[in-house]
Structure 1
Amino acid sequence: MSSSLKGVIWQLTRRPLRNDARQIILDRILNGEIPAGSRIIESVLAAELGISRTPMREALLELKHYGFLRSDLARGFMVLPLTVREVEELYPIIWHLEKLAMQITGLEKLQQQTSTLRELNLMLKEVKDDPNRALELDSKWHQHLTASCTNKKLLKMIREMTHLIRRYEYAYMWNKDLVLRSFQEHANITDTIASGDLDKALELIEQHWSIGMASLKQRMQQNIRQ
């Protein structure tokens, strides 16, 4: 085999897929290799990863959508900070709001949602290597959990908090083991509601968010030490 052909094959085998490019950039943001406040030079990063400018821009735009980046005409894409402190501040708020919405909804109406909750959760279990889809289904599961709450202002607050943690949840959904764990925790919560134990369900929903918070903090702290 000629050296030139070997070079072409090497380039093809080393070139990451579009999803891989997003994951590589996300990992570099989370571990601080691309520091908060730094500018991303698309052409340089695209050449480094062995992809064209189009999939590179698509990856960056998606990360912007989830709150990891911002962009402006003058400076292009910039990295926004991700902090353990923000995780610690946001997650307890959302689990207390969600618990309050469940209490207002009441056991009977919550039980009416169990079939939909199970259906969404089974769909989440089947997601493979697609954090966008996993996040979409996870979000829908939580929305349906409180869909019958009559306090519209409370639901609005939950939506706002969900938007604030979206970028952290997106990072969470890249880990297939964590997605599977979320599936199991959702299933336990749904089964507990179906069995008629609201107090236990409230305890489990707090544990669910608390475990997610701890997993994110652990990953971020490990990346900082590396």
Structure 2
Amino acid sequence: MTRDGAPDAYALILDAIDRGKYPPGARLVETELAERFGVSRTPIREALGRLETQGVVAHDGRRGLVVASLDHNQLGELYEVRAVVEGLAARLAARHAAPEEQALLRRLVEDSRRMTHDAEALRDNNRRFHRQLHLASHNRYLNTMLDGIRRSMALLTLTSLADPTRGAETVEEHDAIARAVETRDEDAADAAARLHISRAYETRLKMEAER
């Protein structure tokens, strides 16, 4: 919601893309989006312009605006950068996280243990875990970078958590990150976060190869 209580068209469109409602290559038509989200065309147009500037949507000739896509090389570049910044976020969280933030990360890990066979619920929990880890870094500039990475991740059509073995692995990897944050072990937090992203990338490559 915006400050005046109106629906946030930007957030609604980005979330729909992130959840696969509009996969890469899907057309984004102002009138259809306005009807779907119950807002006027003006905020939809402004949101699409903002998303185009950020590289989430692109013009495709006569088709108009479509959801952008990432090729194989871009995927690798995205995960390479993500591993570095997620590692830094975990390192700074180990340094700065308040006890309450540590407790929230722990609760999210324990909640996720009941979700290993529900990819959608685990995906939502995974987002919350990483978002809280990022906030616990207490670094606004890093969080701005992570926001950009989250937008790019929305362009991936499949969640690695759809892999039948990935759910349980993710829980244990999150547990390792949370433990390192709790014990203020910055090196361990950095390493655990980088390993987590590396394994997610490996799973995604496997899933793409099997498609």
- Please give the TM-score of this superposition, normalised by the length of structure 1: 0.60
Which whole-Å deviations, capped at 9, do the CAs of 1:28-77 have from their partners, x for residues lacking one? xxxxxxxxxxxxxxxxxxxxxxxxxxxxxxx9995234x4441256969x
Give the match for residue 137 of structure 1: 125
When Rg is computed on C-alpha atoms for both structures, the one with the higher figure is 1
RMSD: 3.2
CA positional deviation for 1:186: 0.5
Match of 1:71 in 2: 27
Sequence identity percentage: 18
Q: CA deviation at 1:218?
A: 2.1
Q: Find runs of 4+ consecutive structure 1 residues off by over 6 angstroms.
A: none
Cα distance, 1:122–1:150 mapped onto 2, change above 3 Å: closer
Question: Any conservation in 2 of the 1:117–1:141 contact (CA below 8 Å)?
Answer: yes
Determine helix, strand or coil for the equivalent of 1:215.
helix
Q: Is the 8 A contact 2:83 2:193 kept in 1?
A: yes
Counterpart mapping for 1:5-84 below 5 A:
63-65=20-22, 67-72=23-28, 81=69, 83-84=71-72
- Check the 8 A contact 1:94/1:162 in 2, yes or no: no
Residues 117 and 190 in structure 1, CA contact (< 8 A), matched pair in contact too? yes
Which one is further off, 130-139 or 160-169?
Answer: 160-169
User: 1:61-103: CA deviations, max 9, x gaps?
Assistant: 95234x4441256969x88645332221101212212233344
Is 2:181 aligned against 1:193?
yes
More RCO (CA 8 Å, sep 6+): 2
> Which residue is 1:180 aligned to?
168
Preserved contact between residue 118 and residue 187 of structure 1 (Cα < 8 Å): yes
Shift in Å at residue 110 of structure 1? 6.0
Within the alignment, does 1:99 sit opposite 2:87 as a pair?
Answer: yes
SS of the aligned residue for 1:168 comes to coil
Given the superposition, is the C-alpha separation of residues 170 and 110 from structure 1 closer, same or farther in structure 2, using an over 3 Å criterion? farther
Q: 2:143 aligns with which of 131, 155, 164?
A: 155
**Residue among 159, 166, 170 paired with 1:171:** 159
**CA–CA separation in structure 2 for the residues paired with 1:176 and 1:118:** 23
Q: How far apart in 1 are the matches of 2:28 and 2:95? A: 48
CA drift at 1:134: 1.8
Would you say the 8 A contact 1:63–1:69 is kept in 2? no
Q: For 2:181 and 2:108, how far apart are their aligned partners in 1?
A: 16
Structure 2 residue ranges without an equivalent (≥5): 1-15, 30-61
Output the CA distance in 1 between the equivalents of 2:160 and 2:186. 27
**Contact map agreement 2:173 2:196 (CA 8 A) in 1:** yes
103-112 or 170-179: bigger deviation:
103-112
Instruction: Kindly provide the amino acid, as one letter, of the partner of residue 97 in structure 1.
Output: V
| TM superposition shift of 1:207 | 0.7
1:207 maps to which of 161, 178, 195: 195
How much has 1:168 moved relative to structure 2? 3.3
